[in-house]
Structure formats: C-alpha cells, structure tokens
Amino acid sequence: MTAAQLIPILVFIAVLLSVTAGFLLVSTRRTERKSVSRRLGEMTIADANQGELTRIRRGRSLSAEGHYSLPIIPLNQLILQSGVTVGVQGVLFTMAFLTAGAYFPLSIIQDSRIVSILGALAFGVGLPIQILRMLRTSRQRKFEEQLPEAIDILVRGLRAGHAIPFAISTVGRQMSQPIGGEFGITGGELTYGLDLETAMINLRSRVGQADLSLLVLAVSIQAKMGGNLAEILTNLARVIRERFKLRRKARALSAEGRYSAMLLSILPIALFGILWLIAPSYYGQVWDEWFVKPALGLTLLWMMFGNFVMYRMVKFSV
C-alpha cells in the first residue's frame, strides 16, 4: 500500500474518532445538566420521584423494575457500573457506528472480506468495551474515596435518631456524584417499598466496588440480628480509610513497573507503524516469504504473554 492510499484512510479514521469524541463530550455535558436538574427537582417536586426513579433506571441500562435489560449480563453490568447514562441503546448504537466506520478502511487495506469484518467487529466492539472498563475503574476509585465520608453521614444520622432509610437519603442529597446519585437511587427504592437488604444489594451491583460489600454486609446483618449499627459503621469507616491508604501506597510503589509495562506494550506496535509510514517498502522484500507471517503471529502471541505477566506483576489486590 502506497502513501497516497494511506492518507485518505488516516483522514477517515481521524474524522471518525473526532465525531465519536464529540458525541461522547456532548453526551457527558448533557448528562451533567440533567443530573443537576434532577437533583434540584427532587427537592421541590416530591410526587415526581417515582417517575424520575424509573427514568434513571432506564438511563442506566436497567428495566423500570430495576432488573438487567440485556440478556448478556456481563455487558449489561459493565454498562451499569461504568455510570454512562446513554442506556443500552446508546452503547449498542456506538458499537454499530464504530464497526461500520472501521470496515471501510479495512476493506481497502485487506482483500479478504472476512478479515475486514472480523477486524471491524474487534475495533467497533472492543474499543467501547475498553472505554467502559476505564470509566468503571475511574468511577469505582472515586466512589472509594467518597465512601468513608458517606458512612460518617450515616453514623451522624443514626446517632441523631433517624432511621437508616432517611440517613441513606441524606447521603444522596448531600454528596456529589457518583456516591450521591447511587445512594439517592437506593433511597428512592426504599421509599417506594423495597426492603433494606434488597436495596443495598442493588446498590452493590450498580457500583461493583469491593469496600461497599462491607457496608452492605454490615447493614444486612444489623437488620436481621440487631446491634449498634452506628458503632459498627464507625469502625467500618476507619477500616476503609486504612485500606484506601494501603492501596494508594501499593500504587505508588508499583508505578514504575506499571509505566514500564505500558511503554513496552506500546513501543513495538508504534515502531511497526512508524516504519510502515516512512518506509512502506521496508518489509516488502520479506513479506511474501512463507515463514514471515507465522513468525509474526508467534511473536505477537509471545508479546501478549509477556504483557500479561508484566501486568500481573504490578497488580496488587488489597
């Protein structure tokens, strides 16, 4: 493939990525404005909360009753925990748009239609899933930072004599996203008849953060067995803060290894792309040899195995 053929493809890919980034930016800003309007509306229009709860569930890829709306549960759970509010339809439309957009340049590069379709599917489905995974990780880290403060608000509400559903609703009103929105949904579920244990389990499934399981377990045990919940939550907040400090320390100690792994993962692909751009005929003399493509395939598999080992070495579970 010559440089004259490569330039239109690169331009098309740049336009495709720009349109996708613009769509995500506009969608994010619109979501933030709707979130502010919703929180203001909850303070003034009490009789509209049930309809608002249903709308929020549908925007978070749930049914009106709070169940998963996709038969593919892992994908539905990923969309839910990432916090995106475009719904299942928005995510599926983005995947279809990226797949169709990637098929055009691949069909020019590759003569095989099957390879082009498989490559387009890998790009159109893999890229949104990777973005959703990054959004979920970022959201869970922010939730982890906010959780001790939310537990403190629960403790103050319980010591002031309020019931646990009212204390949960107070967290939803006083704290920012993401924890404020999630506790607000839980408070709405409790208001409209859901029992405390089920509402807390729903909260854990919507977030997927490890420390939240401790809070759900503490509240569930107290609801069944009784006890001083305020004292239990005070100790739990202290434990979560210590775990958070330990995680930050582990990330700081493993930072060098993580960035080295990222650099070693990107460098071979980047060098291959640069050589292909500046000297398209560099690999031309050996590309048609019988052993080149199998050797490249084995090299790619070996590099993937090495990347897996490197990332496992710098990943710590606390």
pLDDT in tens, 253-283: 888 888 888 888 888 888 888 887 887 777 7
Closest CA to 24 of 83, 78, 64: 83
- Inter-residue contact 153 to 174 (CB < 8 Å): yes
Mean pLDDT rounded to a whole number for the chain: 81
Among the residue ranges 18-27, 84-93, 130-139, the one predicted with the least confidence is 18-27
Most confident segment among 63-77, 78-92, 270-284: 78-92
Among positive and negative, which fits the CA dihedral 52, 215, 233, 242?
A: negative
User: How many angstroms separate the first and last alpha carbons of the chain?
Assistant: 49
Of the chain, the percentage scoring pLDDT greater than 90 comes to 14
pTM comes to 0.74
SS (H, E, C) 11-73: HHHHHHHHHHHHHHHHHHHHHHHHHHHHHHHHHHCHHHHHHHHHHHHHHCCECCCCCECCCCH
pLDDT at position 227: 78
pLDDT at position 132: 92
Confidence check: pLDDT of 123 > 90: no
Confidence check: pLDDT of 216 > 80: yes
Indicate the pLDDT class of residue 40, thresholds 50, 70 and 90: very low
What is the mean pLDDT of the segment spanning 46-64?
Answer: 68
pLDDT at position 83: 87
